[in-house]
Structure 1
């Protein structure tokens, strides 16, 4: 007996020792919890703003901030809810904080996943929703004075008292339903029945129901679906034919283009799921781009074509990384739940400011009384959440999803036709834009003038490579700092002209060189190596020519030459940027690491300690060509690039830059078609890439993938004596 009493005393002592931190200073626990809740609310606000901006900016702060706000919210919510549930220290505001954290866990409408792989984790997200709901329910129990058996009498006993408890319970259930939207959005990306219907619809159009007349300007005959329902479909040619007041207004062009972008997004989405694109080989598909979107070389026409693609890729980004696709399908439910959440949060806010909450549970706890600072922080948290709710609604209403949805309803229901009120709403919303689609910039890198990023390739050839851990951290980058320049109209014009002049199949610069009558002299620099090696050789040659010729300020023909030069240099440096910072978009990037490393090693050896551009140019200018037995060993991409630069520099300056401009435009068009759909889609959430826009444009012309290996060894990779 004495032994049992001693054991019980020992257990009590251990229990008191375990509780001593809370017994000594229970207020510190509450302070920690409310600080974490406030941090979670602030993260939610940052998540909404930064994740809404990440598709338009590759800025390191925005990309890193979006990643932190998305990634940190889950462990923060889990830890805080667990701390609130396991600790014997309680505060009457815990249920309010718990439901606030539960709402944070569902993320904002601006993000459901940070990258494509997150969408595959929908089962994990579903488990987390139930986990957070359980934690929140346990904390809400603090406000319940009844046992489980008495819960069924709540309507008679408790709800009549107008307590805060039923409000928080209902809010918790509404938040639970809201959080399912994230799970459904992730699940839907992997299992998209809509894309299957679109694929079947286009297959039927291509094989059975092809119209006899096609006009890509008026979209006549182009039955690209805006709505592809089981019983009724709406196609883009119907929108162009419609002669209502709405489509005769000043906003008609923008509305039609938004609808076209949405239809093109639905077509492009099939590639992500590996579905057949039945219309790809049809002549009218190619005409849609060449004789429709790119009909003329007028700057306005070209800007419109690229803007349509921008909006299309904006839809694609939102489909993959946000909740907008689910909200669009259940708009009425979304806004109803939004209004209920705002109402219930406002009621809770009212109770908190009046200090009307009280702990009602009969369980043994250490209750910490609420101070003014607790009330202030709770009010701040709820205010932030209300602000997020209102901003989310505003962002959606200003998005292209709302514009297209209203237009679809206008088209599908005859009673809406001629409705002046609805038409005014659609016109007003069509003019509102809160965020750009992307920054309209391209990255710039240079092997000659700024090669610090290319130096990382040296790890493949140096005798003592850096430690694996150092390599890991060096490769971990949320937003590499690179030089960026705006995509000027001449660049887009050059790309447009190259697409229109492109032959079937596409060539890697041969057509442009042949068009300018210089193919024979430069054919050696186009074959015999990978496409990445070809681009680096021509990039070095372009840099050589750019340094060799000083800038001029004259007008007339020289001004045209300056324009050619600017386009050539920008596209050349963009290709260098792609090789270094976005190699996954290139078909052969896995095979080029060691050749690039050898090129950098050779360049370092040749350049020595030269740092200025002109000093480097003098070294290149007097670089002896490899001859004899040492040629095979020393003739790296760098030396071949210098050879090509010297050869180009012998041309007339005007012809030289015209050749380089057209070569680089054709090269960009040549490397754009790709089977690596995921690589392009991942870049949408990192500020976007100009190459992705060209990839989408070519996809709609029926150019989806090309064989870049077939001509690799058909021509010599070194200049013959007569060509040098």
Structure 2
């Protein structure tokens, strides 16, 4: 039996791995774009597995072909066709345009890929050279070798360009000596002597003016505006410092638009970030890139034509069929890549349209002219012909606020999944729900015993976090009202220079004037504790208030907003600790200690066998019934970091407020907690999350940057601004 398996492997291993490599390329080019549109762990895991296996399968197959030639001295038609397959594997190593890197760390390994490029190309050359001079397929093999080398080179160069060190250097501007001081002072002296009317000093010789008004923002305008601001703000991810003009232009635009327009522009802008860092966009979208892609595609088509015209007598039928599969597969992959390239946001962003849609104009003190960054003017006439299709595809990508997939038709679901720019939802994680389900229950049913065993095994294997994510993380749609509340909250605070350091205390400092209550009793739970402790306190307090709220108040908008945002922030703290690393402190230990105390309390006080909502309500009621006249720290000291009953005290204080006032205060506090975490999270953590569906906190981070709040990358004085007194 083993001999039969070995014989089968020896005869068909190369064919199997070549087809397996092609299958992985098809999976990647079709499924990889979905990782920016979904936070589903299974989908992302599938893409990750295909990404890892793709390189391994191609390299292994190439090694098998080289080994077969090494140990087989007889070169026949079968050996010729094996040599013909070698450059196909170079094409596969080049990967699809939709994914060059799975994570930011892959871009840092561009040098390893360069070594891989050299070694694998050398291996393919050796395979090709050993088949000469009797190789009947030397012409199509040579053509595919050129195409494969180009594709592999594209991927390596794309990784190099997306490496943060290279990216930082690429956005550096030419040295700027500033205005001519001596010449300016000569004019200044002449003005003083002539005692003329003081002139208007322009900040820059040329300034960007956005002519577009609110009513003119269609889908194409949104894409081109997003591209404009992406070009301006892409330095965020490498701590670039922006000047006053860029700050003012961005602040004026985003401050004057509605929340929905701002969200669309930011979503498209983040899509540009994703494209630059994780795809071949930078390499392809240049004259050299277009030329290289043209040569590569033509070489594949020419190889197909040459192979079709050759006499294939002597070749095995299966080998011929596999070869045609590889050839048509390569052409199909190139066709999909071309389609993706033609109808991408990048193409729309640089295309010139009707004058009504002109967004960006560059003005100077001498003349006015239009300038489009990154445009290849020779392609504009072709691009203009396809603008009706651009409009259609952009319409398909529009955001449907708060509309669940279950309420849509099949066509609507497919459209939304295929064309949305992010997953349009929030991952939520609830403390009370987690503790109730994880507590050591008595009288377990057989299924529950299995669940406990599964938890035990996952803990021992280090997979508990993955298990918790699959079991306890749920998705809630981000609605227009929720985003609008966040946007309005940030916009009205953009004049506050210290907003980056506030995490709820800004609203409490102004609370007396807003709702007429004493705010000092709440400041202890924000200003006097670490961020992670504050987040845990307000999350549990929100749960206690939410589940003990009367039925008639359940329609309060702020109530539902607080509930969702509270669960989302706990999700970031527990499940996405890398995004909260700058503010998390001992968040993991505090969460575990609080869970331990909650489980012990629920085991004693909460009845089993109830419906989930009733169980939650009973758990919250039992916590609020505990006598908290004595501070928990007086009992526990520093032994435990649990904040369960500290949060109970906070909830009791909040429940002394009127319903509208209570949820109004809590919603404002949650917005500040969100914005504080967004502004302190590292930029590379934000862009790293784009490859996994994106997060609301990243939208908030970029919005704060555009509004000039919470981000310390603005140089607020240009020098010449101080001369406005003239």
Post-superposition offset of 1:544: 0.7
Cα-to-partner distance string for 1:59-112 (whole Å, 9 max, x where unaligned)? 122201111111111221222211221133554421232222221111111111
Confirm or deny: 8 A CA contact 2:91 2:148 kept in the other structure. yes
Counterpart for residue 627 of structure 2: 624
Counterpart for residue 55 of structure 2: 74
Counterpart for residue 263 of structure 1: 228
Change (3 A) 1:34 1:478: farther
Q: 2:618 aligns with which of 612, 615, 619?
A: 615
> Tell me, what secondary structure is at the counterpart of 1:108?
coil
Change (3 A) 1:584 1:451: farther
Q: 2:114 aligns with which of 109, 126, 131?
A: 126
Counterpart for residue 168 of structure 1: 141
Q: 1:402 aligns with which of 329, 347, 358?
A: 347
Matched, 1:441 2:425: yes
Counterpart for residue 486 of structure 2: 495
Post-superposition offset of 1:655: 1.8
1:107-146 aligned within 5 A: 107-141=95-129, 143-145=131-133
Matched, 1:470 2:465: no
Change (3 A) 1:601 1:376: same
Counterpart for residue 365 of structure 2: none
Structure 2: distance between partners of 1:550 and 1:436: 38
Cα-to-partner distance string for 1:617-653 (whole Å, 9 max, x where unaligned)? 2321222216274263678311111111122222222
Post-superposition offset of 1:176: 0.4
Cα RMSD after superposing both structures: 4.0
Structure 1: distance between partners of 2:229 and 2:707: 11
Post-superposition offset of 1:675: 5.4
Change (3 A) 1:286 1:478: farther
Confirm or deny: 8 A CA contact 1:63 1:478 kept in the other structure. no
Q: 1:663 aligns with which of 662, 666, 669?
A: 669
Matched, 1:308 2:265: yes
Change (3 A) 1:286 1:124: closer
Counterpart for residue 591 of structure 1: 586
Confirm or deny: 8 A CA contact 1:338 1:389 kept in the other structure. no
Structure 1: distance between partners of 2:373 and 2:109: 36
Structure 1: distance between partners of 2:350 and 2:570: 41
Matched, 1:374 2:336: no
Structure 1: distance between partners of 2:93 and 2:563: 47
Structure 2: distance between partners of 1:413 and 1:28: 51
Counterpart for residue 423 of structure 1: 384
Confirm or deny: 8 A CA contact 1:251 1:427 kept in the other structure. no
Post-superposition offset of 1:597: 1.9
Structure 1: distance between partners of 2:220 and 2:382: 17
Stretch moving more, 327-336 or 536-545: 327-336
Q: 2:276 aligns with which of 319, 323, 333?
A: 319
Confirm or deny: 8 A CA contact 2:574 2:588 kept in the other structure. no
Structure 1: distance between partners of 2:203 and 2:424: 29
Counterpart for residue 34 of structure 2: 53
Structure 2: distance between partners of 1:570 and 1:204: 51
Cα-to-partner distance string for 1:271-303 (whole Å, 9 max, x where unaligned)? 33333x132xx4x6665555432426xxxx211
Matched, 1:575 2:532: no
> Tell me, what secondary structure is at the counterpart of 1:485?
strand
Cα-to-partner distance string for 1:549-607 (whole Å, 9 max, x where unaligned)? 1444xxxxx68x52111111111111111111112222222432222222111111211
Stretch moving more, 638-647 or 620-629: 620-629
Post-superposition offset of 1:192: 6.4
Structure 2: distance between partners of 1:653 and 1:478: 34
> Tell me, what secondary structure is at the counterpart of 1:432?
helix
Change (3 A) 1:286 1:74: closer
Structure 1: distance between partners of 2:376 and 2:153: 34
Confirm or deny: 8 A CA contact 2:469 2:575 kept in the other structure. no
Post-superposition offset of 1:269: 2.7
Counterpart for residue 644 of structure 1: 650
Counterpart for residue 14 of structure 1: none
Matched, 1:604 2:599: yes
Post-superposition offset of 1:394: 0.8
Structure 2: distance between partners of 1:478 and 1:336: 48
Post-superposition offset of 1:487: 0.7
1:44-443 aligned within 5 A: 44-87=25-68, 88=71, 91-141=79-129, 143-145=131-133, 164-190=137-163, 196=169, 198-200=171-173, 237=209, 240-241=210-211, 253-275=218-240, 277-279=241-243, 282=244, 288=249, 291-295=252-256, 301-329=258-286, 330-347=288-305, 350=308, 356=312, 370=316, 372-407=317-352, 411=372, 423-426=384-387, 428-433=389-394, 435-443=419-427
Change (3 A) 1:343 1:201: same
Cα-to-partner distance string for 1:205-250 (whole Å, 9 max, x where unaligned)? 8999xxxxxxxxxxxx999xxxxxxxxx99853xx45xxxxx99x9
Which structure 2 segments of 5+ residues have no match? 73-77, 182-201, 353-359, 361-369, 395-417, 440-454, 609-614, 714-726
Post-superposition offset of 1:52: 1.4
Change (3 A) 1:551 1:327: farther
Structure 1: distance between partners of 2:570 and 2:313: 63
> Tell me, what secondary structure is at the counterpart of 2:697?
helix
> Tell me, what secondary structure is at the counterpart of 2:475?
strand
Structure 2: distance between partners of 1:338 and 1:143: 23
Stretch moving more, 133-142 or 112-121: 133-142
Post-superposition offset of 1:142: 5.9
Cα-to-partner distance string for 1:140-176 (whole Å, 9 max, x where unaligned)? 3465235xxxxxxxxxxx9xxxx53212112202210
Counterpart for residue 674 of structure 1: 680
Q: 1:486 aligns with which of 470, 477, 480?
A: 477
Counterpart for residue 515 of structure 2: 516
Confirm or deny: 8 A CA contact 2:679 2:701 kept in the other structure. yes
Structure 2: distance between partners of 1:641 and 1:116: 38
Structure 2: distance between partners of 1:399 and 1:521: 53
Confirm or deny: 8 A CA contact 2:545 2:651 kept in the other structure. yes
Confirm or deny: 8 A CA contact 1:129 1:180 kept in the other structure. yes
Structure 2: distance between partners of 1:694 and 1:412: 26
Structure 1: distance between partners of 2:497 and 2:234: 24
- After TM superposition, the score normalised by the length of structure 2 is 0.75
Post-superposition offset of 1:412: 7.7
> Tell me, what secondary structure is at the counterpart of 2:427?
strand
Post-superposition offset of 1:382: 2.9
Structure 1: distance between partners of 2:658 and 2:299: 70
Stretch moving more, 110-119 or 476-485: 476-485
Structure 1: distance between partners of 2:330 and 2:458: 43
Confirm or deny: 8 A CA contact 1:454 1:600 kept in the other structure. no
Counterpart for residue 443 of structure 2: none
Change (3 A) 1:602 1:26: closer
Cα-to-partner distance string for 1:370-393 (whole Å, 9 max, x where unaligned)? 2x3333333333333222111111
Confirm or deny: 8 A CA contact 2:426 2:476 kept in the other structure. yes
Post-superposition offset of 1:453: 10
Structure 2: distance between partners of 1:690 and 1:390: 34
Q: Give the length in aligned residue pairs.
A: 610
- After TM superposition, the score normalised by the length of structure 1 is 0.75
Structure 2: distance between partners of 1:392 and 1:168: 23
